[in-house]
Amino acid sequence: MLTSLLLRHRLMATMLLLFCLATSAARVAARQEAKPPALDTADLELVISGPREGVADKGPLSFHPRKFKMTLINHSPRPVVVGPNASEKNFSYDTTDWRATDPDGKPVPVRPSYRCSVAGTGLIRAVLLTDENLVVIKPGESRDIGEIDISMWFKLDEPGEYKIYREFSFSPPRFSQGTVGRFTMPPFDASAMSPEKRQMLHDAVGFTVRSNVWTLVIK
């Protein structure tokens, strides 16, 4: 009787200990997996700059270079990570995140692409990332994030003032295979990145920021 009671107490104590250990491990894992809170719209500022004047595009294949520079400013108290977008978030030619409105305030349509799209349904090899693919902007710092010629998208053929801006979004890449519709999207391979940069990319949060509005006068 006494032996049975002692065994029962030991079993209960062991179960209680295992429960406490499991709970503690779960809390540690949750803390490790928790990502920083989302960025507020006031945390980031996107500044674009380009030509102030230009000549009208004449003919369907007329292209006059209109290069725009992009600078991202971090107003938040923590570093901001920018890298390649998740495969399903990559902007194609037909879904550019640049916007243009004509002198009447109407959206300028995207140019016809004059291309043949060919894509398979099979898995494409993983995209290899390196430290150079990652941009880290410290609090209070700014970083140029590229230059692009918007003439590939917009035909500006009427005289007057055009308003140009960009709605830039970043969605951290996934490291596992995904699908969009019937297409299999390739995962990203971070094995060539340093442990520090790989962790920063793992902890990165997505954001969307709208740029200043740039006025371009077509004569």
**Beta bridge pairs of residue 68:** 148
Task: Say which residue the tokens 């898995």 belong to.
Answer: 123
CA-based nearest residue to 81, from 212, 190, 214, 219: 190
In order of their start, the domains of the chain are 40-120+130-169+206-218 (2.60.40.2970)
Tokens of 120: 């398979």
**In the predicted model, is pLDDT for residue 181 greater than 60?**
no
Looking at residue 176, its pLDDT comes to: 58
Cβ(166)–Cβ(216) below 8 Å: no
86-129, pLDDT tens digit by residue?
Answer: 765 555 555 689 999 999 999 999 988 655 544 444 445 677 88
pLDDT, greater one: 163 or 91: 163
Looking at residue 25, its pLDDT comes to: 47
- Tell me the pLDDT band of 30, cut-offs 50, 70 and 90: very low
Looking at residue 108, its pLDDT comes to: 96
Give CA–CA dist 162/54, Å, rounded.
10
**Beta bridge pairs of residue 81:** 136
| Mean predicted lDDT score pLDDT of the chain | 79
* Signed CA dihedral, 212, 213, 214, 215: sign only: negative
End-to-end Cα, the chain, rounded Å: 102
CA-based nearest residue to 144, from 51, 66, 47: 47
Q: What percent of the chain has pLDDT over 90?
A: 44
Cβ(133)–Cβ(198) below 8 Å: no
Give CA–CA dist 149/68, Å, rounded.
6
Predicted TM-score (pTM) of this structure: 0.71
Cβ(178)–Cβ(60) below 8 Å: no
Looking at residue 183, its pLDDT comes to: 46
**In the predicted model, is pLDDT for residue 12 greater than 90?**
no
37-86, pLDDT tens digit by residue?
Answer: 677 778 999 999 999 999 999 887 788 999 999 999 999 999 999 988 87
Residues 6+ apart with CB under 8 A from 192: 128, 129, 130
Cβ(121)–Cβ(178) below 8 Å: no
